[in-house]
Homo-oligomer: A and B are copies of this chain.
């Protein structure tokens, strides 16, 4: 008889984990406390979305699970080849991500999630069951050879008990699975909010078809748009229908002070993002800024990720919630599923060994990307406008193009090279950075020496000029 698993959470990572497990013959039941999002009216949007960018780690993980499935669920992605920096004076500046035309890809979270749910529906109902409106209340952990007992409260408030061989918790940064695991194992756990609030905004589709952009886009869709203003910023990612989902990020104190009056918000937006306001409609943007929910950004680190004996494991945000600034949250979650499946396969389904190996091998990579993501806020909101940063980036990408696989910029390793684990990418980048610093210093020194020599050469002429 096949083993049974409860997947808690029907979000992106939960769906992918369920697909992967079903394909390996497990009897899968997916639980989610929400209603089926495909049945919701579109007005039910939660107004807290930050558009996703799927890149190599996400795509190769989908392909590892099922190449045809990957093709189907990724049919709506919009490739983005770089950042488009919007300066205050309206000038736009393209900064290309890859060395050889690689792209990250914009996708609406809700669309991708629905496609993955559709994939689950393709399985027979004795292999995969979807149970919405089921909120996990408690896990009673039993001996590894017994059934683990999960207690859900269903829509009518009645408690329902499910016995399963094991549980895969993909229930996000406020994970109940993780809470329950903490009663069974001694878990190192930390959560930290960064001082940054986010607000969803919206750029509607252009009223006319734009030839240059091949759609009703009012900005080029093949870039991730950034309005970096040092302490705060605006970003925008294209949707298939020509609209852009835009997000404002800024310190809580700033936002709270702005929200004291409508005119403050209006003045602030118009002063700092005049071109974006022209596209959003200032009145509309002010309305959204004031009334839409204000999101908090949290980092979660923990260890271990499993309950011994192969009884429970957590993947995705439940195990490593990170801030969105490296575009790796979902990619990393999908990679979790790939790594987990590879370990299950390598251990011939011995869950005790596979779960243990997952915690042991995955931890350093998860910590590495959580830290990188925090660091990238400064890069996106501030560094991208700094000369020194851009010079270093130029040298970095020039070396990358010249030396190919011998020199890999960090962004390339994180976003385009699924074969290099996060932790290794950081180690390689640290080594390269030392060399970069030396080159940069040498360049600045050479320029100074040349300048000095030029001055020496000109000096007699200048003196003569002065005297005359």
**Residues of chain A whose beta carbon lies under 8 Å from any beta carbon of chain B:** 186-193, 296, 298
> When the two chains form their complex, are residues B186 and A189 in contact, meaning their CB atoms are under 8 A apart?
no
Q: How far is the CA of A187 from the CA of B298 in the complex (A)?
A: 10
Q: Are B193 and A190 in contact (CB under 8 A)?
A: no
The answer to whether B190 and A191 touch across the interface, beta carbons within 8 angstroms, is yes
Name 13 extra pairs, CB < 8 A, besides A188-B192, A189-B190: A186-B193, A186-B296, A186-B298, A187-B191, A187-B193, A188-B191, A188-B193, A189-B189, A189-B191, A189-B192, A190-B190, A190-B191, A190-B192
| Nearest Cβ on chain B to A198's Cβ, whole angstroms | 13
Alpha-carbon distance between A367 and B209 when the two chains are bound, in angstroms: 60
Give min CB distance, A81 to chain B, whole Å: 36
Residue of B nearest to A197 (CB): B186
Q: Which residues of B contact A188 (CB under 8 A)?
A: 191-193
User: A191 — which chain B residues lie within 8 A by C-beta?
Assistant: 187-190
CB-CB < 8 A to A187: which residues of B? 191, 193
Identical copies in the complex: 2
Residue numbers in B under 8 Å from A298 (CB-CB): 186
Find the B residue at minimum CB distance from A188: B192
The distance from the CB of A224 to the nearest CB of chain B, in whole angstroms, is 27
**CB-CB < 8 A to A193: which residues of B?**
186-188
Cβ of A52 to closest chain B Cβ, rounded Å? 24
Complexed CA–CA distance, A190 and B193 (Å): 12
In angstroms, Cα B189 to Cα A193, docked, is 9
Residues in chain B near residue A186, CB distance under 8 A: 193, 296, 298
Cβ contacts under 8 Å, A296 to chain B:
186
By beta carbon, the residue of chain B nearest A299 is B188
In the bound assembly, the distance between CA atoms of A346 and B174 in angstroms comes to 38
Closest Cβ neighbor of A302 among chain B residues: B191
Closest 9 CB pairs of A and B: A190-B190, A186-B193, A188-B192, A189-B191, A186-B296, A188-B193, A189-B190, A188-B191, A190-B191
Alpha-carbon distance between A186 and B192 when the two chains are bound, in angstroms? 8
Query: How many angstroms from the CA of A190 to the CA of B191 in the assembled complex?
Result: 6
Chain B residue nearest in CB terms to A186: B193
| Bound complex: CA A190 to CA B302 (Å) | 9
Taken together as a complex, chains A and B put the C-alpha atoms of A189 and B301 apart, in Å, by 11
15 contacts between A and B (CB under 8 A): A186-B193, A186-B296, A186-B298, A187-B191, A187-B193, A188-B191, A188-B192, A188-B193, A189-B189, A189-B190, A189-B191, A189-B192, A190-B190, A190-B191, A190-B192
Residue of B nearest to A298 (CB): B186
CA distance A192 to B189 in the complex (A): 6
CA of A252 to CA of B355 in the docked complex: distance in angstroms?
20
Return the chain B residue nearest A189 by Cβ.
B191
Q: Which of A186, A188, A193, A296 has the most CB of B within 10 A?
A: A186
Please indicate the chain B residues that have their CB under 8 angstroms from the CB of A190 in the complex.
Answer: 189-192
Give the distance to chain B from A308, nearest Cβ to Cβ, in Å. Answer: 12
Whole-angstrom CA separation of A186 from B187 in the bound complex: 21
